[in-house]
Every structure is written in C-alpha cells, then in structure tokens.
Amino acid sequence: MNKPAIVVVAYNRKRSLERLLSSLKRASYPKDEDITLIISIDKGDNEDVVECARKTDWDHGELKVICHEKNLGLKAHVLECGDHALEYGSVIILEDDLLVAEDFYNYSLAALNMAKDDDKIGGISLYDHLLNVHTREPFYAIDDGYDNYYMQFASSWGQAYSSKMWQDFRSWLSTFKEGDIAGFDIPDNVSGWSERSWLKYNIKYLVEKDMYFLYPRVSLTTNFMEEGEHSDGGSLELQVPMLFGRKDYSFSSLEESLAVYDAFFENKKLRLRDIEEKFITDLYGNKRVAETGEKSKIRYALSSRELPYKVIRSYGRILRPVDANIVADIKGEDLFLYDLKQKDKAPRVKKAKRQLYNYRAIKLKEMLEIIKFRLKKGR
C-alpha cells in the first residue's frame, strides 16, 4: 500500500483547524516517508482560516493548501477531497473539528494494507462508535479478540480509502439517482438526513452492495462536534476515548470476525439455539420489524420491542454489550424472539430497566439537572 495523503476538510472554524493541525504535527509517522498534507478550504468568509493553513509548518512532506473559488457545500467538498485518492493511491480524510491520536497514520496504513484484497470492505474508519446514533444509546462491539469490528455504516469522523474503494463508491454514486433513500434496510434516521449529506449515500452504497467499513476498537480520532454546517455545537455525545501511544494491530477478516454489524448497529453474526432459519435482529428496537419480515420473507425476529406476535423465547438485558446476552443465552424478559407468522398479545417491556441498563448509577437529582440542561439547550 502506498502512502496515504492526509486531506483536511476545512471551512470557517479557525480554532478547530489549529487544534487538528497541532495533533497532526504531534503524530507518529513511518520513518523516511514523504507524506502529503492537503488542507482543502471551502469558499466562505474565512481569510483567517486560509492564513492559518498557509502558515502551517509540515515537516513530513509536501503541504498543499487548496482554496476553492466558490462554495461547494459539505457534500460536494468531501467528495472532492475523496477524489485525491485517485491521485495518491489512498487518502485519510479528516474534518476540521476532529483530533487525531498519535498512532492514527500507522493504524490507517495497517488497515488499508489488510483490506486491499477484500472487495467487501468499502472503507476504513478511524473513529470508534460508542453511541448508537439512531437510538442515542450506548454501543459496544462484542469483543472477539481482534483490534477491529465491521459495520455497514460509513464513517465521517476520520476515514481512509484506497483508490479502488473510493472509485467503486464514486462509480456507484454516478449512476444512483440521488434523493429519497428510505427503505426497511436503511435507518429512518439516515434517510431523513439533509440532501447536503454525502454520508447517507455512502451508507446506502454499503447496504446495497453488502459491504462494510472496518472500525477500530480503540478510536484514533475524537469529535468535538463544534458549530458548523451540520452542527450547532456544544455537544459532548461524540467524544470517545482515543489511543494514547503506539500498538501493533491484529485485524480479523469478515469471515473470522464475530463483530459484524448492519446499518442499525445490530450484530449480523448472532446465532440462535435450534433456529437454523435467518432472523431479524432488532435489539435496539429501531427496525420496522413487520415490514422487514414481510419483504424479506423472514419468519423470526429478535427484538426489544413490544410486538403483537407469539414469543417463543426470551432473554435478559444484563450482560454488556447487549448482544452478549444472546451469545451467552442469558434468560430474562427483556429481549424477545418472535414468530412473525403467529399473532399474539404483546409482552410487557420494563422501559425503566432498559434506561438503568444504559445509564447506570445515575441519581434522580442528576437526572433533573440533565433535563434542565437539555431544555435550556433546546435538545
């Protein structure tokens, strides 16, 4: 694998850009390598951002500052930044409100090398999701002993592509009729994103082609979620622990991995005792189960929701992560295996128990303070 160029997506956040560039300069890189840093700045009232980029000291190779003459908007800007993969062979794309870990480049290089011969891997994430962005609940990938997991969810908070990965996505996008991407296989949260979002089309591409992003178990970036085109700022929800230090990475293939997740953050590698047929996994309760079952001709659904079908088995919500309860066959009345061909009275779900599982050790006084803060912020 050739040396990935680093491409920074910038617009009008000077402080954010300064912080990201400082972390890039502190990071570790392979010895005697000539690494190109491209700072791409969308057109705006942002001369201070342009000045910051041009004054950057970059000791690891060529520095290129691209100032676009017209405003592209985030979607077109990111796509243009990704196109540098075709020139350099691979790219690492970083939006300006990120911070990178010391080992981000070495991780990216190792992951790109591992993925180069697997057409099912559509990109590399540098960010480790610890939040299911659809349900706003904690998410942890089940630990199978490797340094990575897979998800049918493209990453925008630090991502890397080989030229082939990017070219295949761009070729698909050029023939795809952009617009409404809603469907039972796409989370409503994603299909409802603005048309300014490039990410929702990358997710649709992964789902349609049955492809995945490779994710790290310890994040190599974190997100400050500062005010910008898609954020009003002030949120800490997407801050995650980063790797501090260096490591050698042991990556699983898709076949080896026990941690392969769909676009809903649901584990596709789960197996059920005595059930050989395919089933719908809906542990977060975010899928249109009846529609999915009807269109996919799937009889069984494993869900946390109260559904009007016969329960043939139930599990507890005790182990973490939530899918570990299925793997370990933990008994309980929190997660239900439904037979979608048999109507029945819906079971009762203890919703407060679920919240205590997700947000442990929180006190009533603290809950009230959070509610006040959310109301004040309008969230």
- Tell me whether residue 358 is in a domain: no
pTM of the model: 0.94
Same domain (yes/no): 82, 193: yes
Under a CB-based contact definition with an 8 Å cutoff, are residues 335 and 316 in contact?
yes
The residue type of 119 is: D
Name the 3-class secondary structure at 89. Answer: coil
Name the 3-class secondary structure at 181. Answer: coil
Same domain (yes/no): 81, 201: yes
More confident residue, 225 or 242: 242
Residue 356: predicted pLDDT? 87
Residue 231: predicted pLDDT? 45
Residue 362: predicted pLDDT? 79
Under a CB-based contact definition with an 8 Å cutoff, are residues 196 and 74 in contact?
yes
Same domain (yes/no): 192, 293: no
Query: How many structural domains comprise the chain?
Result: 2
Same domain (yes/no): 229, 93: yes
Same domain (yes/no): 60, 19: yes
More confident residue, 139 or 234: 139
- Tell me whether residue 233 is in a domain: yes
Residue 234: predicted pLDDT? 56
Residue 73: predicted pLDDT? 95
- 123: closest CA among 93, 95, 86, 81? 93
Residue 361: predicted pLDDT? 79
Question: What's the mean pLDDT in 128-152?
Answer: 97
Residue 233: predicted pLDDT? 52
Under a CB-based contact definition with an 8 Å cutoff, are residues 18 and 51 in contact?
no
Same domain (yes/no): 25, 85: yes
230, pLDDT greater than 60: no
Same domain (yes/no): 192, 222: yes
- Tell me whether residue 135 is in a domain: yes
Q: Identify the CATH number of the domain in which residue 123 sits.
A: 3.90.550.10
Average pLDDT, the chain: 94
- Tell me whether residue 369 is in a domain: no
Which of 102-106, 123-127, 252-256, 346-350 has the lowest average pLDDT? Answer: 346-350
Same domain (yes/no): 169, 291: no
Helix ranges (DSSP H) in 61-103: 73-82, 84-88
% of the chain exceeding 70 in pLDDT: 97
- Tell me whether residue 21 is in a domain: yes
Beta bridge partners of 183: 186
Same domain (yes/no): 245, 213: yes
Q: Which domain holds residue 232?
A: 5-261
More confident residue, 142 or 274: 142
For residues 94 and 129, give the distance between their C-alpha atoms in angstroms, rounded to a whole number: 16
Question: What's the mean pLDDT in 50-73?
Answer: 96
% of the chain exceeding 90 in pLDDT: 84
Same domain (yes/no): 232, 292: no
- 224: closest CA among 213, 212, 214, 237? 237
Same domain (yes/no): 335, 204: no
Under a CB-based contact definition with an 8 Å cutoff, are residues 172 and 203 in contact?
no
- Tell me whether residue 308 is in a domain: yes
229, pLDDT greater than 80: no
Residue 179: predicted pLDDT? 77
Collect all residues with Cβ–Cβ distance below 8 Å to 326 and sequence separation of at least 6: 267, 270, 272, 283, 302, 315, 335
- Tell me whether residue 188 is in a domain: yes
